[in-house]
Amino acid sequence: MASSLELIGSGAESSWTRRAIEVDFSSQEASSTGAGVSGAEGEVPLASVHEFIPTWDPSAEPVASAAESGEPPADTFTGWQAAVTDAQRTQLVVQLQEALEALRQATTRGELGKVLLSYVQGRFPRGFLLGETFGFARVGRGYGPGSDKPEVAALQVDLEAPSLLAMAAAGGRAVVSSVPESPEDEVLFTALGESFSHLVAAPIRLHQRTVGFVVIDGGPSPFGPEELDELEQLTAAASEAYGRLHESSA
């Protein structure tokens, strides 16, 4: 794909700087994606052909207090840009390892989706799981303020048109954007973010083809390289788990 891409990250030693990209659609066209996958689960109202979209709603579960969790309150969303103590950083590392292990042990696609949303909930304002259906991406589940608004349910992103999602699908890696660069992105930001949001879209893949996305709204603060590296590890493990579950159900 011919494009002008701006590497992001902090520090030459960061492995993420070789992988994550900032979207610039001024001189490119997105690649088209493959056809959708069949095998719907009837209980999922949106993007139902992709079973990794869970029926579980994380926003309905009680949130642990700051004293219990050892984390800042969920409504502060300071991310890695704020100073964190060694104890907090250690806890985040432990939580990541627990999430990776849970993905390896997942026995259903619903469990897979639950692990992904559980890990990012409380750290970021909003998070969503999207499934690809016949070349369009639609929201299956999400959490955070406004995740139940009509724009979310109606969202339908054409993956053959330039967008944050099309770039992530074509490249097979997470993509960050802070400014809508196309009509599809205008719709995406309206539904899943705010005018000041930094969005990251990370693909879930099966046999080198994107079957879904994790989209996170980081709010006004840019994503740090540690956060992006964690997300890459999570989606790589999710793709492996999705492939394992797909093969076992074949």
Concatenated DSSP letters of 132-170: EETTEEEEEEEESTTTTSHHHHH--EETTSSSHHHHHHH
Dump pLDDT digits (tens) for 225-247. 999 999 999 999 999 999 999 88
How far apart are alpha carbons 200 and 177 in whole angstroms? 6
Question: Can you list the alpha helix ranges (DSSP code H) found in the chain?
Answer: 66-69, 86-105, 109-120, 150-154, 164-171, 183-192, 225-249
User: 250: pLDDT confidence band, cut at 50, 70 and 90?
Assistant: low
How far apart are alpha carbons 166 and 188 in whole angstroms? 12
pLDDT computed for residue 86 by the predictor: 80
How far apart are alpha carbons 121 and 58 in whole angstroms? 8
Return the DSSP state at 182: S
Residues 6+ apart with CB under 8 A from 115: 99, 102, 103, 106, 238
Give the pair of three-digit tokens for residue 6.
């701006």
Comparing 68-72, 139-143, 165-169, the range with the smallest average pLDDT is 68-72
The position carrying tokens 């579950």 is: 245
Dump pLDDT digits (tens) for 176-221. 999 999 999 999 999 999 889 999 999 999 988 999 999 999 999 8
- CB 207: neighbour CB atoms within 10 A? 9
Per cent of the chain over pLDDT 70 is 66
pTM flag (> 0.75): no
User: 41: pLDDT confidence band, cut at 50, 70 and 90?
Assistant: very low
How far apart are alpha carbons 48 and 67 in whole angstroms? 38
Average pLDDT over the chain reads 75
The CA-based dihedral angle spanning residues 37, 154, 227, 113, taken in that order and rounded to the nearest 10 degrees? -50
User: 33: pLDDT confidence band, cut at 50, 70 and 90?
Assistant: very low
Residues 6+ apart with CB under 8 A from 5: 21, 22, 24
Is residue 36 pLDDT above 60, yes or no?
no
Strand partners, 210: 205
Mean pLDDT for the stretch of residues 56-82: 45
